[in-house]
Amino acid sequence: MSRKLSDEILMSLKRKIINKDLAFGQRIPSEFELMNEFQVSRTTIREVIQVLVQAGFVEIRRGKGTFVIYDENEEMLNDADIEETKAMLDEKIVTLACSRRTDEDLERLNQLLKNREQNLNMGNYASYVNEDIAFHLAIAKASHNNTLENLYLHFSGLLRNQLNKKLLSIPDYSANSDIHENIYKAIKNQNQDQAKYWVAENLKN
């Protein structure tokens, strides 16, 4: 799927949902209708819909179609709670990872960064989000604190939905990639102040 083209389709459908042109509970156009509207393949439309599903904007009801489930007010409250929790977890985890990471941890983090970037460049957004979460889980693993690692693992389900929503709002993906690269470098150099700074920047982006 062309990244530029898929971005345009994602943003178009997201705008319609946010602006309530496609309201809560409403059925969105069928795959065939979307294929005709955007002049793309069924595969492209299905990949776009899958991102919207994972982002919590729509759900697929077998035999009935795809329906809007996004509730703006509820989502705003949930996002605030998630971001507050993520900020606390990330700061503690990255601090410990700086002092406890091993060469094996660094190899894993570096490979996940490469996978993350590759999927982004190819427009494989679902895989991109999976690799992003895997990267943060690998930081938790590098803390060598089993309790924190398990907490982050359980938290990752909520985080996945939020990341998919953010994916539809990021104007410049390269900036976020740079932030993750800087998080990795700070952990590698065991620079706790830089690591905490960049995880805080990641929350803003």
Hey, where are the domains in the chain? 3-68, 72-204
Could you tell me which residue, 158 or 100, shows the higher pLDDT?
Answer: 100
Tell me: the pLDDT tens digits for 19-32?
889 998 999 999 99
Could you tell me which residue, 198 or 159, shows the higher pLDDT?
Answer: 198
Look at residue 116 in the predicted model and tell me its pLDDT.
93
Tell me: the pLDDT tens digits for 41-69?
999 899 899 888 887 889 999 999 999 98
Q: What is the reported pTM?
A: 0.68
The CA distance from 196 to 179, in Å, is 11
- For 120-124, what is the mean pLDDT? 80
The CA distance from 113 to 93, in Å, is 18
DSSP 62: T
- For 73-92, what is the mean pLDDT? 80
Could you tell me which residue, 64 or 72, shows the higher pLDDT?
Answer: 64
Residue 37 — pLDDT band, cuts 50, 70, 90? very high
CATH architecture entry for 3-68:
Orthogonal Bundle (1.10)
Residue 10 — pLDDT band, cuts 50, 70, 90? confident
| Per-residue tokens: 51 | 């991102």
- For 125-134, what is the mean pLDDT? 84
Q: Which helix (H) or strand (E) element contains residue 47?
A: helix 42-54
Residue 204 — pLDDT band, cuts 50, 70, 90? confident
- For 145-150, what is the mean pLDDT? 94
The CA distance from 7 to 52, in Å, is 12
- On the question of pLDDT at 160 being above 70, the answer is yes
Look at residue 108 in the predicted model and tell me its pLDDT.
98
Give the CATH class of 72-204.
mainly alpha
The CA distance from 196 to 88, in Å, is 11
The CA distance from 75 to 24, in Å, is 13
Look at residue 158 in the predicted model and tell me its pLDDT.
74
| DSSP E strand stretches across the chain | 58-61, 65-68
**Are the C-beta atoms of 14 and 168 separated by less than 8 Å?**
yes
Amino acid at 205: N
